[in-house]
Amino acid sequence: MNDSGSSLQDIAESILDKASKQTISYCEARAEEYSNETLNVEGRLLKSSFNYLSKGVGIRVIANGAWGFSSTTSLGKSSLEDAVDSAIKIARSAGEKRKTPVELREIKPACDEVSTKVDLRVGDVEFKDKVMSLIECNKVLKASDEVIKTSAAIVGVESQKYIATSDGARINFKHAMAFGTLSAIGFASGVSESANLEVGGSGGYEAVEPGFLIESAKDVGERVKRLLNAKACPTVNKTQIVMDPSYLALLVHEIIGHPSEADRVLGWENALGGSAWWQGMIGQQIGSRLLSAVDEGDIEGTLGYMPYDDEAVKSQRAYLIKNGILVGHIQSRQTAEEFNTEALGGMRSFSFSCAPLIRMSNTFILGGDWKSEEIINETRNGILVKYFLSPSIDDRRYRWAVTPQEAYQIKNGEVGELYRDAVVMGIAPDFFKSIDAVGDDLSIFPVTGCGKGDPEQLICVGNGGPTIRGTANIVGRGE
């Protein structure tokens, strides 16, 4: 077996063959090859461009009641055997200190081949055409002379992953995703404002089609221009907040997605995300009966598209909150056994070089019966927030603050004056219980840099929901 000629299937199967001759209770091999093309243009200058190619395998085993993991990019027979031995050695060593053995939830092993639909590969588009598209984005991002810095980037990722497990699962997944990031910074009269947007999803270049990308860039540039001329947001305690889906995406990510990861709930993994305030509260009413939220990986076109997870478990809709009741978490096979529930496909890794962790795929609030305009029309005094900038969340995901890019006054059912420099702050259960209107305009937005783990693994996910209304505090930073 040689490094260049081995198929992913051959690599994975050879690992299982080697592992089967050892005293272990489980083995999982993820053989993967992927490419990443990234272009970033600032103004009219190509700031960076790179193509990254990688091929390798990640190996997880359970031996002596504990996990062991190793990975390698050396794919010759002896190197693969050494990697298996390394994973087993780590597991046996860890097992000497583990009080209770690792147990996995039983599943029906899946055998499947899945390919993401791609109309046009990012790599098949001429390099100069991609650069010119980004230059044009920067032209429209600069909506006025006060916009002093602009940036536009395109990322295209292609991968093939073959997952084989000792309990019989075999998954061959060919995947592609493309996304763009757009940002603009403006300065006028002592005020600095910024706006940004992430667009894209699973698929090829069609996800960042130039016309769509340029039109999106125009919206971002105009947003900065508006903000530079807006009044500073006042501070208002306990006011009605109407949240546009473009803002809600980050809030859902931070106060529903991350605390729903079962390893956080159990206190097993607190790095770069904290724990969960609702530990031990399954079955309890934690929000309004209008609030239902799910995690669902098998949604084509989204950035969180994942038909099977990295344990070869088929992704299914996992209810997290149903009619305000906390009903579930995002699970691995191990945590599903701890909670005595189903494993619905919640394990993801950055690449073969990393052990998978429990991660979001597409986490979102389900739509309701209201029209978004009805929600605004029936709001006497409040604030409409759109697009997100940054979060600040405590370790338990209990107290939160998420900065919107735009905040508009709502008075007597009409959208009025635009404010800049607002921060929306709340306490998770209080906010959940205050939700009194949920729209029918569900949208899932790309979130391109979700971090977790130590060392950190960055993945792409989808988050969102419909327009909703609840009660929170508005703090004006610019007063």
Q: What sections of 193-344 are H helices per DSSP?
A: 210-228, 245-252, 262-265, 333-339
Per DSSP, 330 falls in state: B
Buried b (16+ CB within 10 A) or exposed e, 3-12: eeebebeebb
Question: 371: number of CA atoms within 13 Å, CB side?
Answer: 3
- Amino acid found at 324: G
Cβ atoms < 10 Å from Cβ of 96? 9
Q: What is the pLDDT of residues 253-304, one digit of tens each?
A: 999 999 999 999 999 987 666 799 999 999 999 999 999 999 999 999 999 9
Q: What sections of 324-449 are H helices per DSSP?
A: 333-339, 372-377, 428-434
Kindly tell me if the per-residue pLDDT of 3 is higher than 70. Answer: no
Q: What percent of the chain has pLDDT over 90?
A: 96
Cβ atoms < 10 Å from Cβ of 239? 17
Both tokens of residue 242?
A: 């109407």
Listed in sequence order, the residues at least 6 apart from 337 whose beta carbon sits closer than 8 Å to its beta carbon are: 103, 104, 105
H or E element at residue 37: strand 26-42
Q: What percent of the chain has pLDDT over 70?
A: 98
The residue behind tokens 């199967």 is 13
CA dihedral for 72, 78, 80, 82, sign (positive or negative): negative
The CA dihedral of 364, 246, 253, 462, to the nearest 10 degrees, is 60
The residue behind tokens 């910024």 is 194
Strand stretches in 126-268, DSSP E: 147-165, 170-188, 191-202, 231-232, 236-243
Q: What is the pLDDT of residues 193-206, one digit of tens each?
A: 999 999 999 999 99
Cα 172 from Cα 146, distance rounded (Å): 50
What pLDDT is stored for residue 5 in this prediction? 65
Per the DSSP assignment, residues forming a β-bridge with 326 are 321
Cα 348 from Cα 332, distance rounded (Å): 9
Both tokens of residue 374?
A: 């009805």
Cα 357 from Cα 337, distance rounded (Å): 16
What pLDDT is stored for residue 23 in this prediction? 95
Mean pLDDT of 214-240: 97
Give me the helix-helix angle, 77-95 and 8-19, nearest 10°: 50
Kindly tell me if the per-residue pLDDT of 102 is higher than 60. Answer: yes
Cα 407 from Cα 85, distance rounded (Å): 57
Average pLDDT, the chain: 96
Write down the pTM of the prediction: 0.96
Q: Do residues 439 and 375 touch, judged by C-beta distance below 8 A?
A: yes
What pLDDT is stored for residue 1 in this prediction? 33
Mean pLDDT of 396-425: 97
Cα 478 from Cα 316, distance rounded (Å): 44
Domains of the chain: 8-229 (3.30.2290.10), 232-476 (no CATH)
What pLDDT is stored for residue 274 in this prediction? 78
Cα 199 from Cα 216, distance rounded (Å): 8
Mean pLDDT of 18-24: 96
What pLDDT is stored for residue 272 in this prediction? 62
Cα 297 from Cα 308, distance rounded (Å): 8
Q: What is the pLDDT of residues 300-343, one digit of tens each?
A: 999 999 999 999 999 999 999 999 999 999 999 999 999 999 99
Q: What is the pLDDT of residues 388-410, one digit of tens each?
A: 999 999 999 999 999 999 999 99
Cα–Cα distances (Å) from 420 to 121, 153, 243, 409, in that order, read 40, 26, 16, 11
